[in-house]
């Protein structure tokens, strides 16, 4: 696992979830990305190799600042 330093993407909030995922994959290809709608259960453990993209299923827009963990 390579840590390139960037751990959050506030600029992706409000962007289409597919576009947001592509941006993160370009910038941090080492991350496992979890694309989650509201109410999706994730384990509470902190993982430096995971990024969660939460989105609104109606608008398909990212709702929370994506961050590693």
Model pLDDT, residue 4 = 58
Q: Domain locations in the chain? A: 16-68
Say whether pTM exceeds 0.75.
yes
Q: Which helix (H) or strand (E) holds 20?
A: helix 17-27
CA 37 – CA 63 distance, rounded (Å) = 9
Model pLDDT, residue 40 = 87
CA 56 – CA 47 distance, rounded (Å) = 24
- The fold for domain 16-68 equals Trypsin Inhibitor V; Chain A (3.30.10)
pLDDT of 14-68, one tens digit each? 999 999 999 999 999 999 999 999 888 888 888 899 999 999 999 999 999 999 9
CA 22 to chain centre: 10
CA 57 – CA 16 distance, rounded (Å) = 10
**Token pair for 46:** 């902190």
């Amino acid at each position: 696992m390579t840590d390139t330093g960037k751990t959050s993407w506030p600029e992706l909030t409000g962007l289409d979830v597919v576009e947001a995922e592509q941006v993160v994959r370009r910038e941090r290809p080492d991350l496992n990305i979890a694309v989650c709608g509201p109410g999706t259960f994730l384990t509470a453990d902190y993982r430096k190799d995971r990024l969660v993209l939460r989105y609104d299923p109606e608008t398909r827009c990212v709702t929370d600042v994506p961050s590693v963990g």
